[in-house]
């Protein structure tokens, strides 16, 4: 048998399988998703958080890791004085251990410190660097 054909066959056999069960999809591998948010619009922010909740409900906590990277105008989601969704953020952290990253460059530009952010924030680093690193590690990028 041709070596290229053997390689293709072996590669095809090692593709992760997906089992359908009713409306739910169960994945064998763990998915890693980075959600990028830079909008101060509450409707957009709420929509992103709903998307995360729906992902976990469909795929299951044991099969999914989500990190939300926020910068620019979107930083209002994570600031104590501006966020209107602190309850939803706390619920996502508690139920699914969603990680939240605030852009340190945006914080600096806005004169904010770590003390100005809600407790659920996991890290403060430049958003573009974090997005680049996660994508290089194979994380799926979603911008709602």
φ, ψ of residue 13 in degrees (nearest 5) = -75, -20
Which CATH superfamily, name and number, covers 29-142? Answer: DsrEFH-like (3.40.1260.10)
pLDDT, position 5: 42
φ, ψ of residue 26 in degrees (nearest 5) = -105, 125
pLDDT, position 6: 41
Residues in the chain: 144
Q: Where along the chain do its domains lie?
A: 29-142
Is the whole model's pTM more than 0.85, yes or no? no
Contact 52, 91 (CB under 8 A): no
Give the closest residue to 33 by CA, choosing from 16, 17, 12, 48: 48
Tell me how far apart the alpha carbons of residues 119 and 116 are, in angstroms, rounded to a whole number: 9
3-state secondary structure (DSSP) of residue 21? strand
pLDDT, averaged in runs of 10, over the chain (144 residues): 45 42 51 98 97 96 97 98 96 97 98 97 98 98 95
pLDDT, position 29: 78
pLDDT, position 27: 42
pLDDT, position 81: 96
């Amino acid at each position: 048998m041709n070596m290229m054909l053997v390689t293709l066959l072996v590669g095809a056999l090692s593709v992760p399988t997906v089992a359908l069960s009713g409306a739910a999809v169960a994945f064998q591998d763990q998915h890693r998703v980075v959600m990028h948010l830079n909008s101060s619009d509450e409707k957009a922010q709420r929509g992103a958080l709903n998307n995360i909740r729906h992902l976990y409900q469909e795929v299951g906590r044991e099969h999914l890791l989500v990190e939300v990277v926020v910068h620019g105008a979107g930083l209002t989601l994570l600031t104590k004085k501006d966020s209107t969704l602190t309850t939803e953020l706390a619920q996502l952290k508690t139920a699914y251990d969603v990680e939240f990253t605030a852009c340190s460059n945006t914080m600096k530009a806005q004169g904010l410190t770590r003390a100005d952010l809600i407790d659920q924030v996991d890290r403060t680093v430049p958003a573009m660097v974090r997005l680049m690193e996660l994508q290089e590690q194979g994380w799926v990028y979603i911008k709602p």
